Structures are given as structure tokens and as C-alpha cells.
Amino acid sequence: MADVDVDVGEGNEPTLDVDLLSDDEDEEEEEEHEITEVDDDTPEYDENLPPEDQLMDFSYAAIKIIRCDFLGEFGAAEKCLIDGDALVAKALSESHLDWSAGGQSLPIVHTFEKILHDLSIRGANFSLFFFKSNSCLWKRLAPSAHAMREIIIQHLLVVNKLQQIQSKPPAVELFMLEGAWWGDKQDWNDMIDHASPAYIMTDFGWKGIQDRVVLAITRGFVHFVHGSHHQVVTLADFEVEGSRTMSNNMQPPRLPYSREKISKALTKLIAKESEALKAVSTSDQDIGAIEIVEQSLRDTLAIAALKAAAKKEVGGDQTKDMIVTFCLTLAMCKYSSLKERSLSFSSDMIEKWRSESDGWGTTANSFLEAMFRTIACCLEDPQTAGKTGKLLAAVSKESDNRLADIVDGRMFHALLARTMAEGNLKLNANVSSYAQKLIDLIYPGGQIQCGKMVSSVSGQAANASKEFILAMVAAVSARSQSCSNTLLPLDGKHLVNIVQGDLASVMSDLENKNFDHSKHVLGKFRDRRYKDVEPLGDEPDPYTYRTSEEEIVIKKVNKWNNAARQAQLSARFSSGYIDSLLLGTPLKRQVIAQPLTSEEFERRKTTAKERLVKDAEMERRMAKTGKDPSEKADSAKPGKEKKEKKGGKGQQSSGKAEAIKAEAEKKRLEKVEANKRANLDHVIKHAPKDLKTDNEALLKHLEELRVCAQQCINDSAPSIAIEAEMTALGHVLEAIKRDKKEDLLVKRHIKNAFVILQRILVTCRSNVTGEKADDLVEAAISLGFDDLAKAIEDIGKGDGEGGGDGKEKKDKKDKKDKKDKKKDKDDDDKKSSKLPKKLVQLPEQSAIRYQVAVAPEHLRRPAGVEGDERVPFKPDDWQRKLLDIIDSGNSALVVAPTASGKTFIAYYVMEMCLRANDTDVVVYVAPTSALVDQVYHEIQARFTKRYNGDMHLTGIFNTSYRKEHLKCQILVAEPECLEIMLLDPANSEWAKGIRHIIFDEVHSVGMVGGEIWERMLLYTSAPFIGLSATLGDIGRFRDWLSDVEKKRGRELHFVHHNERYNDLAPFIWTNREKLEDQIVMLHPLWAINRLLTESKRFEFPSDMKLLPEHCAQLYDAMAKADDSKELKDLSPQKYFQKLSDPCFNISMRDARGWELELKKYFCSMTYTTQKKVLQDIIQATENACSHIETQLTNKSESNYLTESILPMARSLQKADMLPCIVFHMIRDNCVRFATALESQLRKEEEQAHLADGHAEKVAKQEKKVESLMKQLEKEGWSKDKDSSEEMTDEQKELMQDLGLAEAKLAKLKAVDPRFALIPPGQVQVTPDEVDEMVATGFRRKYFNPKDPLHLALLRGIGVHHAGLSKKYRRAVERLFRMKRLAIVVSTETLAMGINMPTKTSVFAGDSLFLNAMTFRQMAGRSGRRGFDLRGNVVFMGLRREKIQRLLNSELPCLSGNMLLTATYVLRMLVKHASIRTIQEAEIIAQRKKGEGFIDQVEDQVKVLLDEWRSTKSITVSEEEQNRLAKMSDKERAAYIEQQKNSALTHINSRDLVRALLETPESKLDGILQSLVDDRSPKQKQLKESALETLRFASAAAKKLQELMVAAEKSQAADVERARVDAVRNHNAEAVARMVNMPLFSPNGALMAKQYAFAFRFAAEYLQLEGLLDSSASPRDVACIMAGLFNAEPANFAVVNFLRSRLVEEICKRYIENSDGSQEPLPDKTEQSVLEQLVAVFCHLFSVVKIPQWHVDYLTQNPAKKGPCQVIMDPLQPKVAEVMEEHTRCAIASAIEYWKIFVSKHEKELGEDNQLPLSGLRWQGGEAGEHVALADISFDVKLRSRFVAMAGRGETVEDVGSVSELCSTTRQGLFMDSRFIPAFELKQPINSYVLDYWRAPNYTNLLKYNKVSENHAWSLLKHFAISVKATFKSLERRNKFAPYKRGIHGEGRHLETVFSDPQVQTAFNSLQLDFCSKFNKISKEQDT
């Protein structure tokens, strides 16, 4: 259902107490996939209850149910294990199967395979498993069910054996597990180890099974799976919706208490039921040895079973007849086609024959039951079946392997009845011969002949059989009488014609040219009376509506709430939020003042195209040579950037000019150096006082010095830069001396010192001379880096490897000579380079190894070497290519990791648009409201531009609010909102002005709601940019987009940059004591260690990257196990020695080369050595995981995380890994963790303060403040004193002392920094700052000292999820960006592109929705380019399997979506029909005006006619009235003149008015006078009024004719028509592109044709339903359906409910009498009416299904419902009949239409005779005719022949539902329920909406209805808005059809329900009442 996925926002109703910022932007947004869960309910454990009841109690309380797209959430590539037994049970329970005739094996096997095939074509990676011991459970069920299970198992084994023979992979991986899950689990454990599944598909009780023991045991299996820490997805609830796979995920219990009690109950259950299982575990069947028959596995098994049946005489006296018929059935199945096996009899017919056949029918049924039992017994015998049985051994290419077709009960009964009826069957020779062979194997000697009865048949039985056969023949005849396979004529259907494309000519032949729309009769419950269509732009979209009024009423205006004040505060708040978005970046706001000229744009375009062509050629050449095109960029040496060429005429200037320029440059540099020296002196002078004692202060000062040095380098002042760096180095060396006993601090200091040395040598290399070089050498030696010291010494001397080439030496010498001329200045420089006199000597270590093993984050990055005029930085090669793509006017798909710098191109596109003109538009599309809001503000932070007129820089349109979306140059929107704008015909001109569309997070195509993204990619005509960091299946998606762009006449460029600028380092956190044991480095090899096997050579996954420190660890482990010279050459000291400056300048690319060499060497090692190396590497991680899993076993996950959150934060703080974002998917727990952090820190603070007498210090300081206040008062000062009066000296001194005292007191009362988590170099947040972040403007402060979340901010802790108020979330975002918060606990609201740079991403706890996609998105928040050099990913509280899966899992493939729905077709048609010329619009308006006059005249004339006929007692002839109606208006006018009395006697009032308009005005009075009684003044007045209105109508008609003539002849009209035709063609081409180029193509190229045909089907069906007129233009009621598109398919149900008039019956509370009085109806109150309406809409909007086991449990335990109903009652019978009738009509139309498609594409579809998964074939269509079957079998075109075998044809009666029809179509045809415009009622469903409406208690709804908080809120919001939108549609239409008493005029184009005041009153009351109740929750969201 779309209602679950709709992002409806979290708006708050504005009230007096609400911040005025809520006017627009304070609407709350909702995030996808965010699930709120709480710990388990814990029922009391009753020892006296049976164990199965105990299990159900805990299951209902502890297992959470989440409906999800499981392939999307887990990932299609992830392994899934499917419980084969549960799948068999699901297949057996499918509604389209027939069990009335004993059962059929082939349709069941087909159903089984079809389910697996549905998973397979959607990319699922699955294996099947069967527990052999489950056979004892099946024996408790019907023999047919047991046998089918064994048949399916053997069928799968046979198919896999055949695949093996043909050297193909198995059709499906199959595990046959010995024992039982409750017994020996070794096989189970081996399978789990082998498959490593992400989830297991089974059922909580097999579907359709009622046996108590089987249900208990199979439910217990789910708990067993949960106990092994695996997720469960239910098979019973599995449904396919387009490309999505929907089912219920059963979450395991969270509390150890629940797990313990469940385990205990499970043990008791197994003990209790073990005897019952043993009682049926043995078999009394005696099956002898079997022999292979005719190389047929089926017949071999059948003959063995028949021999056993013959031996036992299971059919009594009729055994031989049964066996002969069964043999004949086998032969007939072998030689007849599937078409001939589709026998036409129903269950009623077979039951009737069985009851009248004198016992033959009963015997036949018993015989088949015995056969099934025997077959099951045979297949359980390992000598016969299984992996070692004779059947499997007989499989070969030549053998008949179709074991699945062993039993066909329908064929058996039909042949038996026919033999009984005719005595001697006419059989095909092949059939007769083969059947006889089989009979002879059982009854040797030829005594019995096939086709003849052995026993005598009574007359009654023979007659019953004849009647049965005749009934089948009649049924076949009835099936053949279907509707005519013709289409409606396409006159005027411009859009449909273009969409059809090549199919148009084919379909034209099938059109019924004689179809008359005017005579078409609508179906039951439908009415054709509507107004003409209004443009869709006139129809509000669903996001227009709010659950509360938008206006804020303020009773009293004062300085706090006046409009000007609020606007000022809003601007200040927005400004602060905007400014925070650019914190930490070098970006500045650009003022767009000077536009670029068209010539400049053209120059850039030409240059870009040339460069792209050149780059493409270069890439082709490099592909041949194998060289990396980016090597050039990384080859530049440090500190030697390419000098920009100085072009221009100045190059030719004279020597004098050069000297003048040099002198000027010299003065400039001197001035710069002086300025930079002053800055440095300022930084040094204002260094923190506690610099030498406080490490935080030291880090802050080091950062200040680094920034100062960097500014000096940027401004060409390296001599000042080196001084700043050496000052910093001196501070660090002093710190090493000070903290030499603190190992952790010393290591951190050493890294800081090494990094400073690196920076000096890279950026200030030319200044490393003299004493500076000596000092640096000494520092390096003291740090233990002797090799680095040697390199520095060489640099200082100007020679050696570190010194570079000869040219570099010459340059250095020249620089040295220049410096020698300034000796005095140099001496001053040397004196300023102060290092400690005595340094601590540290152990020796290699600088080369240190770079890669300890400080890898500081390795040199590849960077652009040349600037570009288009951007203010040096772009990388791939970024430059992106600029060229944009300038060339083409589209681009950009795939690059998070934080790699890909988003810059979006802002370049915006800048170019702003510089081009004031009208072009760029649209930025983002997936969530939060991201849309942030980008909207960030654009304002980056750009500013002034406009003339009503135009704005930016606009926003999301599902929560919209602002200036049609009057801006840069629009930021959600995809569904952009779709609304593009489909609005009023925006056609706006859409033409779109310059570019930017699709951020374009991988959302594969997520929920992805169909909107896909439609927009196809529909839009503007160039686009698709940006993604997590795009799976790149090749297929890129090729599809490339084809789309070629269709538009453009080229798609693909830019793939696969390296992060900053690496991500993974860690595991444990709550062990020592810090080094808490944060454990996670080596990537640990995640893939299972890939190492002895049988297969180990290969690293292509996308696995080892960081430099991982490589160092890998080398160390390999060195322990291997001492070869080749490996020693790979030591970092040797490998990197060949590089230039290896001691301080290794690049990331160099490290990457080392990584590849190490991987190559590891893969070449022996398995034993590899295993030894791996064990060494992964041991620490394994120990950490074991510790975590022990903790999680003993505690619930939430308790473990709550207890561990503070220790984890402390660990990160000590490891310098803050700030961090802690990601957790449960809202309540996010708040819980943050408040626990705050509480624990506060308690520590209280204990510390208690120990050091803090309270006394506060009291003492308060007394001091009080004393100073008293002294001031004695001196004559008071608070109320006039501030302008001058203070005395004594007062000034006291005031200064008071200020210092108050500041000290405030500091004492503030949060102690020791007990706050504050990022390095920052101070804690204050309450005033929190108020400033929110800027409410009210006297009441926002900061609430009683709110734990507000208090947490003061300690550096924030929370972020969509349920929190927007003000708080924005405050958290700003504070975090300002580095004032150290920890933010968040759901995935911060994952999708939100600008929240962090150093570390922590994954706390597991969740279903923590998958590969969200993991990469969340992890990408850390290590952002420009903010940090390294990102950290920390796993906390996750089991090892989940961590490994996250690290190894592939991104989900973008399989595409089902784009076409009936509502979308309707929206397309509405838009197309609404694109009109100005003249057409005027004509329509004039026509409506004339119709209005005609309506008025009709009302008046109808009164006159009725009264005249009543007076004269005239009876109207319907036949004569119809004859008059068929005349034209002129013919009717002439007839009235000739036969006035006769015409007036019978004519319809509407026809009379139309005729009067064609009558000369002079004759009108006479005609109307005939109807007037001269004695009635009222009638006379009516006549005069009618005559006057007729004159107006005539004038309007004349004006209409003039307009039409002018439109035909006017030149301006021709120009306008050409313009509109171009717009229509453009729109039609866009729609055709969307229809004909689907990404989701499960049946290949045929899918596009199916889409085109589905488009036509939807259009014609809507036309047949009266929703479209004869030219496919929408009728008015269709706009309601289009307006409720987000509720599809419920919108169909709403419209049909309204059209049925039942809504009037429900809403009717009184009868209106003719005198205007109202007579109340009994038992009808306002409350009862509203409850009936709510009950109806509960079945339509926001539907949530309930698992059947919940229904069963609540039925037995009604007390568990609490005060709620929980389970919704069925819909009222009358309303249900309306819905069901519409569904039947839709199904009937779909069948007839799609049969046409099949008939025209039979060759492309292929033969329908193949099983979907295994591929085994049967005879298909017209193979051999068999007289015995010819007249009783039917043919199908649309449905699968395997399904038709079960008697399911293609009539509405044969199809149970839309989903059944779609899942049972023939091979090659893909049908989806979205193709069929129908709404099906679902049962059972949750009554949460009704329960909440009855008693709006949100807590009860969550507790008893068991809907998660996030989903409950959004679903209630969607329900409220849908009801409101429905009411608003009715209200709008009342303007066109005002209510009038009595009966409407005959033929009036009005719909009564739109104008009935009782309906309007009821709907208005409903929407107001429900919205007010819902807003109670909304108000709580912002408290």
C-alpha cells in the first residue's frame, strides 16, 4: 500500500503558545524506514498453562511484526534460507488449486516453483532446506499433503541431478537435514556455517494447517531460529508488488527474561509432544523392490504404488477399475497436451456425481487417498528416493524425469466417469498401447483391457456419469461465450496513440468502430452524471492539506508577538542556521551581480565538448596501454606546484618594466610577511595560560598555530610559516617531557610532533636550513626517527635523495643567495625557532613504517595540479570532467564515495543558471524533507542575487510545506512534489524553463517510493545529474539511463570515482576494563575469513580495501609465518625506500600499490600458512566479539547499550575519536541513551563535588555576591536607578568586583567541564546559547532546565530523530556543526546527506533496517573531506555475523519499479486534456456559461411541464420520449412546431430546452404559453423568466459560435494552436518514453509492449467506467481519483463509494419535506453516522494487516485487546458489495483486454508448457487430439495452462482476486496488480484508526494495536489528510452543483452526492473531528 510509504510530514497545529516560526517551515518531516520499538511486554509466566499456550503468550507479547520489502532491506544478494516444509504448506493452501477431485501434483509443483521464481527474477539469493524428521508432522495431515511434500522434494533432487548431468548449476540449492531441529542439530549448524544466511523464511505455524501438534511444533521452530540469532521472514504473508517483495519480519524477543521463558516453554513442548510424534513415525506400508519402467521416474513410482494398492485391494471390488483408470490417466497425461488436460468441472459438479454414482465416487476418492499414502511411503524409503535411491540413479538426459506429474485427480475422475457412461472409451493408439503396458505390469497376461469397465456399473451410476459428462460439455460451451475481443475506437486519443507507438497499427485492426459511447451502459452502482473536467492545476494535491488550520490567531499584540518582531526573529534564526552550514569550509557567499554573456557560455560549451572528445580518445588509448589516467595528477612532487603561466602583453615588456614589477612584488611580500608575523605574534601572545598543564589547551593552541602557518603558506610567507610550525613543535616536545609517564598521551604527542615535521618538510622545505635544520634533526632523533633525521639533514645541506634533483638544488641555492643578503633578518628568524634545551630520547623507530602503521591518515592525497577558472579550487581530473559535461549541455551519472567532493557540481550548475538570466530554473531533488530543508538553506548560504519583480533565488516544495516554488530560480523539492509540478498543465511553461535537474541520492530509485524517481528520470526533458555514493548494479543502471538520453538526443556521461578522499577505519568497541581492550581495530580479513577454504584458491573481493595500518598488520603476521626474501622486500622500510622522500612524503597511492603487492603475495601462500596468518590477525577481533555476544546473551540489547554508552564515550574521548554520531534505529532508545549519558555524568559530578566541598564554595561565592550588592546599595546604587546617571569611582570599582564575582559564581553553578563531553578545543554549551539557537522570541525561554534532553546539551550530548521538535533538532545540528557537541544519538535521519560532519560513526545495536545501504550512508558521515583526515566506524553491541554482513554485503541492485498504474495513466490524461490554447479555454468557458443558462431554463420548464401534465393527467410514453431524444435539436424544434401537443406530452425537459434554442424567438412565447395556466400568476412568472433566460442562452450560443469561427480563421489562433500542439507533442513524447523504456523488465523487451498495452487498457477501462469521455478526456469525478493518487488503489474505492449513493444513505439523518421541514430518522445520530464513515474509510486508507496468528490468539484471549477492538469488523455488506462489484468488473475487463495482447504476441511469449524454475517441459498447445477429452476440456490464453489444469479458466468466477490473476498468468507474461484499476478489501486488518477515533489514547494504540510509534503517527496523519482531501473535493464540486430540494432535472450533468448537504455536513464533521484528535499527538511532538 502506498499509504504506508507516503511521507506526510509531522506538522504541529499553530496555537497561541506556539512559536510563530511554525507558519511554514516549522512543519515536521517524517523519515523513511525509521522504526520505533520498545522492549518486550513481559506477561506473567504461568507454570500451569500448557507449553503451547505459554509460547503463544510470550510470542504475542515479545515478537514484534514489521512489514517490509525484505529483499530491499536485507539486500537481494544476501543469502536467504527457505523452509521447504513451510513453502510446501503455502503452495498447498493457494486458492487456485483444486482438491475436490483428490488433488493434482503438477499444478502444485508449478505453484511451488512459481513462488521461488518470483523471488528469483527479483534477484533473491536463496537455498531450500527440509528436515527429514518433519515427515512425522506431515503424517498427521492428509495423505495427499504428505505425498506432495515428498514428491516436491524428490522432484527438486531429480532436477538438480539433471542439471549436474548437463554441467549446469543446480536449479536451487537444497539441504536435506537429518534429524529434527528439536533433536540433533549438527546438520542445521553445518548448513548455517555454510550458507551464513541473513534471514530465514518460514512460518509461525504452517499456512492452512489446523492440527494442534503441527502448529505448536512449527511455531516452536520460529523461536528456535530466533534462539540462533537469525531474523525470520514469514512465507504466509509473502506478496509481490511490482519489483518489491513484501512480507512480515518477526523480530526476536529482546529481553533475556522473555528468551529464558520461551526456551523453557519450548523444552516442555518438545517433551510433551514427543510421544505424539513417535506414534506416527512408523509406517504399515509394505512396498517391495521397485523396477524402472519405460525410463520414466513417474511411471516407476506409480507402478510401485499401484502394485501395493492391488495387493491390498484398496478399492474393494472396484480396485481393478480404479487401477486401470489410473494407468489410463498416466498414459493420457503422457500423450495429451496441457490444453486437453484443462477439464471443465467444478467442485459442486464432482460432489454431485460422487453423491449419485452409487459409491463409485467415494471409492475413487478413497483410492486416490490410498495412492497418495503409498507414494509418500515409497518416497520416504531411501532405497527408492532421496539422494541414494533408485529414482535418482535413473535420471539421465534420455529418461522421462517429469516425476511431478504423477497424480492428476481431475483427469482420473473424468476418465472414470466417461468410462462408466460410455462403457468403451475411444482412445488414441499411443495412449491405448502405453496404458495397456502399464496395466500388464500389474495384472500380467492381458486379462484386463484399458478403456473398458471390469466391474459392472449400475444404471444409476451410469446415468450420474452421463449427467456429469454433459455438465462438463455445457461448462466448456459457457466458457467459450466470452466478450468480443475488440478495443474501443481511438478517435481523438492523441496521447494514447503516441504512447502505443508501433503497436498502433496492430491495435487498429482490433477496434470496434461501431462502439457508441452515448449508448454505453455503465455497470452496477455507477452513474454517468458529471460536469466536464477542470484542469488538474485546479485540483489541489494531497500535500496541500493540513490537519490543522494554517493561520495563527493572536488575541493581543505586544512587543513579543507582533508581526515585525516575529519576522525579525525568524530572519535571525534562519541566518544563524544558514551560516552554520558553511562552518569549517573555505566557502563564502557569492553575490551574483554580473551575468555571463551568451558568448561566454558558448565558448565554454565549445571548449568543454572538445575536451570531452579528447578525454574520451585518451581513455581509449590508455585502456589499451593499461596506464592509469590519473597518475599524472599524483606525480607532482610536494611543495613544487606548477606555476601558473603569466599570459598577456606584459610578457613582451622591457627590462625596466620587469624591474619595476619585481620591486613591487618585493614590497608586497615584505608587507605580507610583516602582516603574517604580527598575526603569529598575536597567536603566541594570546596562547592559553594553562598551555603547559592542560592537554586540551595545548591542542587548541596547536590548531591555532597550524591555521596561522597555513595562511602564511597560502600568502607566500614560508619563513613565517616555519616559525609557527617550529613553535608548535617546541610545545609538543615540552609536552612529551611533561607526560613521559603517560603512554597514551606520549603516543599522541609523538604523532602530533611527527605530523608537524611532515608539514614543515612538505610546505616549508626551502626554509629548512641552518639552525632550523639542526633543530629539526635534533627533534627527529629525540622522537626516535633517525631515518627522518638523516633526510632532514640532507635537505638542509641541499643534497641527497631528500634534496631532489639538480634543478631543485639550483633553485635552493638561488634562494639561499638571496637570503644571505638579508643576514640580519635570518638571525632574528633563528632566534625565534625555540625548541626545548633538553629533549626526551625515545626508542628508535622507522619513520617510513610510522607513516603507514601509526599515522596513515596523514599520507599525501592526490590533488589537482591546475586551477580552473570555473571553480575556486584546483579540481581533480574527474571533477574537471564533470564541469565539462555540464558546460556541454549533457547529462551525467556520478558515482563517488561520500565526502569525495561530488556535490560541488550541483552548486556549479546553480551558479551558471543564476549567471545566465533571471528566468531559467535548476531543480534539486532530494529524498527526504530534512535534506530538502537543509539544501534550501545551504543555497541561501552560498548565493545571493537581487531581482526585479516577484522572483526569488530559492524555493522549496516538500510534503510538509512549500514556498515560492513557482517564482524561484533554484527549486529544492522532494521527487513526489516535483512530479506534481510537472504533471500540472498550468506549469507547462515553467517546465520548459528548467535548465538542469539534480537528482541527489539517485540510488533512491531502488528504495521504497523509487517509482517516482524512475518516472521523473524518464519524464523530464531537461539535462540531469544523478549523484550517488551507494549505487548498486552500476552497469545496468548506467546503460538504461544512456538509452533514455539517446532517446532525448543527448549523451549520458558516466563519472565513477571509487576512492574516498579520506579512508574509513573500522573498530569494535567492548566494555572491557583497559582502553586498549575496549577499542579493537577490525581487520577487513576478519570479515572474509570464511572465504578461506582448502579446496579453493583464496581471492580478495575486488572492492575490499586494506588501509595502510591493516597492511602493516598483515605484513607482520605474514613475516612470522614466512621468512622468504620476496616477503622481506615487501617490508615498508624496503618497499617505500625507492620513492622520493619516503620518510615523510608517502602518498595514499603509494600505499595502495603496497597493498596490492601484499594481497598478491598472500594469495600465493599455501592454505596452511594463510590460515595461520589469518588466525594471528583475527584473534583480537574474535575475542572482542565473543565478549560482546556473552554480554548480549545475559542482557537485553537496550540495557547493554544504556550501561555502556558512557564508557564508550570515554573511550572515544581518550582515543581522540570525538565528535561522533551514535546511530540507533529505535527512537525511544536514542532518547534513553542520551538521558542515561547525562544522568551518569551528573551523578559523577555530584559525587566529585561532594568530595571537594563544591556546595560550600558555591555558598561562599553567593555570600560574596550578596555582600557586594549590599555595598553597592550603601553607595547609593540600585537596579532601578537611571542608567544615564554617572557612577562614582567607588561604585565603578564595586561593580567591577561584582561582575567578576557573578562570573565566578556562574562558572561554579555551571556544568563542570570534567563531567561533560566536549570536543577538543571547545567550551561547553550554555542555556543562553540554546535559546539563541532557537530564537523563539517569546519571553518564555526555550531552554527548559527540567527537560533531560535540554540538560544533555549542556554536557555536549544531543539527540536527533524525526519525532523531536524541529527547533530542538535544528539546535542540535547547529551546535554539532559548530563542534560544541561531542555526541549525537540519532536514528537514520542524519544518514541521508545531512550536513553533520563527524569524526566517528558508531553503530549501536542491531536492526532490520541496518542494511548495506544505510550502513554505507551512515558510515559516510565520518571523515568528511575538509573536516577530518580519517573517518572511524565503531561497532557497538552487534553480533559478529551482522558486522561481517555489513562489511561484506553488496549494495542492492536497482531492479527498477512498476511505473504504470491506472491512477498515473489518469493523471497523464488529465494533464494532456488540460493543455489548451487560449481560444480553446475561452470556448470552454463560454460553453459552460451557456450550459448554466440551459440549466436554469430546464429547472423552470420542468416545473411547467410537470404541472401541465399533472393537470391533464398525461402519461408519458418512454418509447416516444426516446424517439424524440434521438432527433437532432433542429429536427426536434421543427417537430414541436408541427406537432406541439404531441411533442410536449412526451418530451424530456432537457430536450425541450435544446429544441427551444433552435426555435425562432417569435414562436417561443406561443410554445411555452401552451404549458401555462392563465389563472396561475406563478406559472406566468416562470414563463417570463424562462423566456428571458432563453434569450441569454441564445446570446451565449451565438457568442460561442463566434469564438469557434474566430478560432478557426484567426492567424493568432493558428500561432497559438501550433504552440500548444508542440507542448502536447512534447508531453506525449515524455509519457511515451516513460511507458516504453522501463528499467524493470522481468520478461525482457516484451515489457515495453506490455506497458504500452497497459496504458491503453487503463485509458479504455476508465472510459468504460464513465471516468473519461469518448476522446479520453477526464470527467469531473476522475479528478477526485487523480487528486488522491497517494492513496492508490484506495482512490478507486473512494470514487466508487461516492458514486454508489450508499454514502448518502449512511449520512442521511433526516428526511426533508416539501415544506422545508426536517424529519429525523430513528437510530441515526451524528456519532453513529461518523462511526459508520470511519469504519468504511478504515478499510480504504492507511490499512495495516494483522497476522492470522494474532487473530487466532486474540479470539482465544479477548482480554489482551484491552480497551481496543484491535481487529476490524468486515465492511458493511452493501458497501462491500459495491467494492466487490467494481473489482469484478475490473478483473473481467482485464482478462478480455490481456487476452488480446496474448493473442497478438504468442510467438514472443513462447509455448506455455514449462515449469518456471526447473524448466521441465510438457506438451503444450495443439499436440494430439483425444476424443475422450476433446469436448470436456477448455482452452486459456491469459492464464497458465498449469493453473487451468485445476479447472481455473478465464471468467470472473474462476478468478478469486486481482493478486490471484496476476500470479497465475501464462509463461512469458508479467502481470502486476497495479495494471488493474481495482481495490481489494483485505482481511483481517487492524482497527487502530477506529480505536483511536473512539478514544484518542495514543499509548493504548501503541500497546494494544501493536503499531510502531513512527508508523502509527504517519498512518494516522495520512488517514486524516486523505479524509480531508476527500471532503475538500466534495466541497469544491458543490460550487458546480449547488443543492436543490426535490429531484434533479432529467439528464442533469450533476452528481447528487456532491451537493447533498447531509453528506457535506457529515464529511466536514468527520474531517474536523478526526484532525482535532490527531492534533493532540502533533502538539505532543513539539513539547
Q: At what angle do helices 1478-1511 and 1577-1609 cross, to 10 degrees?
A: 160
Q: What pLDDT shows up at residue 1728?
A: 92
**Which string of DSSP letters, residue by residue, matches 451-495?**
TB-SS---HHHHHHHHHHHHHHHHHHHHHH------BPP-TT-HH
Q: List the beta bridge partners of residue 954.
A: 970
pLDDT for the residue numbered 545: 62
Pairing outcome for strands 231-234 and 244-251: antiparallel
Range 589-609 average pLDDT: 86
- State residue 467's pLDDT score: 93
**Residue-level pLDDT at 521:** 56
1876-1917 pLDDT per residue, tens: 888 888 889 999 999 999 998 888 888 899 887 768 888 898
User: For residue 1915, which of 1884, 1879, 1888, 1893 has the smallest C-alpha distance?
Assistant: 1888
| Res 520: pLDDT | 59
Residues 282-304, mean pLDDT to the nearest whole number = 76
Say if residue 1541 is exposed, middle or buried (CB neighbours under 10 Å; 0-12, 13-18, 19+). Answer: exposed
The residue-averaged pLDDT of 1447-1451 equals 82
Does residue 454 have a pLDDT over 60?
Answer: yes
pLDDT at 1816 over 50: yes
pLDDT confidence of 4, banded at 50, 70, 90? very low
Q: CA quadruple 379, 384, 387, 392: dihedral positive or negative?
A: negative
Predicted local confidence at residue 1823, as pLDDT? 53
Averaged pLDDT for residues 586-603: 81
Predicted confidence at residue 661, as pLDDT, reads: 80
Q: In terms of pLDDT, which residue wins out, 1701 or 945?
A: 945
Peptide bond into 540 cis (omega under 30): no
Q: Does 1978 have pLDDT greater than 60?
A: no
Mean pLDDT value of segment 191-208: 91
Confidence of residue 35 (pLDDT cuts 50, 70, 90): very low
DSSP string, 1616-1645: HHHHHHHHHHHHHHHHHHHHH--S--TTTT
Q: Please give the backbone phi and psi of residue 891, each rounded to the nearest 5 degrees, phi first.
A: -100, 160
Most confident among 283-287, 415-419, 1362-1366 (mean pLDDT): 415-419
User: How do residues 1836-1880 score in pLDDT, each as one tens digit?
Assistant: 999 999 999 999 988 888 898 899 999 999 998 998 888 888 888
- Does the pLDDT value for residue 1401 go beyond 90? yes
If you average pLDDT over every residue of the chain, what do you get? 82
CB 634 within 8 Å of CB 1059: no
Has residue 1291 got a pLDDT over 50?
A: yes
pLDDT category of residue 88 using cuts at 50, 70 and 90: very high
Residue 1922: burial class (beta carbons within 10 Å; 0-12, 13-18, 19+): buried
Inter-residue contact 1911 to 35 (CB < 8 Å)? yes
Q: Report DSSP state, residue 1817.
A: B
Q: How far apart are CA 1855 and CA 1787, in angstroms?
A: 8
Pairing of strands 1064-1069, 1079-1081: antiparallel
Amino acid type, 1314:
R
Q: Which three cell numbers stand for residue 857?
A: 591518515
Of 1592, 1586, 1593, 1574, the residue nearest 1501 (C-alpha): 1586
Q: Say if CB 1412 and CB 75 are below 8 A apart.
A: yes
What does the chain come to in residues? 1983
Crossing angle (nearest 10°) for helices 297-312 and 429-442: 50
Q: Calculate ∠ Cα 784-785-789, nearest 5°.
A: 125
pLDDT tens per residue across span 1078-1110: 999 999 999 888 888 887 888 888 778 899 999
Q: What's the pLDDT tens digit per position in 811-826?
A: 444 544 444 444 444 4
Q: What is the pLDDT of residues 901-915, one digit of tens each?
A: 888 899 999 999 999
- Asked whether residue 1464 carries a pLDDT value surpassing 50, the answer given is yes
Instruction: Please give the pLDDT value at position 410.
Output: 93
pLDDT surpassing 70 at residue 522: no
Q: What is the pLDDT, as a whole number, of residue 51?
A: 86
What percent of the chain is modeled with pLDDT above 90?
28
In tens, the pLDDT along 1050-1069 reads 999 999 988 888 889 999 99
pLDDT band at 1263 (very low <50, low <70, confident <90, very high): very high
Q: Which residue has the higher pLDDT, 389 or 138?
A: 138
Check residue 416 and give its pLDDT: 93
Task: Quickly state the pLDDT bin for 482 (edges 50, 70, 90).
Answer: low
| 3-class secondary-structure state, position 814 | helix
Q: What one-character DSSP code corresponds to residue 520?
A: P
Asked whether residue 651 carries a pLDDT value surpassing 70, the answer given is no
Mean pLDDT, range 1227-1242, rounded to an integer: 91
Least trusted range by pLDDT, from 575-579, 775-779, 1240-1244: 575-579
With a cut of 70, say whether residue 586 has pLDDT above it. no
- Rounded to 5°, angle at Cα 1931 from 1927 and 1937: 135
Sign of CA dihedral 997, 1003, 1006, 1009: negative
Whether 43 shows a pLDDT value over 70: the answer reads no
3-state secondary structure of 1535: helix
Asked if pLDDT for residue 1433 goes beyond 80, the answer is: yes
Q: Which triple of cell numbers denotes residue 1575?
A: 389563472
- Could you tell me the pLDDT band of residue 806, with boundaries at 50, 70 and 90? very low
Highest mean pLDDT among 622-626, 1131-1135, 1495-1499 belongs to 1131-1135
Give the cell for residue 1810: 514449462
pLDDT single digits (tens) 349-373 = 999 999 999 889 999 999 999 999 9
Q: Which residue type sits at 1791?
A: I
Predicted confidence (pLDDT) at residue 284 exceeds the cutoff of 60:
no
* Dist CA 1712 CA 361 (whole Å): 62
Pairwise CA distance, residues 1797 & 1792, whole Å: 9
* Residue 288: predicted pLDDT: 65
Report which of residues 1912 and 1350 the model is more confident about: 1350
Question: What is the structure's pLDDT at 1384?
Answer: 95
Is pLDDT at 1657 greater than 60 in this prediction? yes
Determine the pLDDT at residue 255: 79
Give the span between the Cα atoms of 1111 and 1117, in whole angstroms: 10
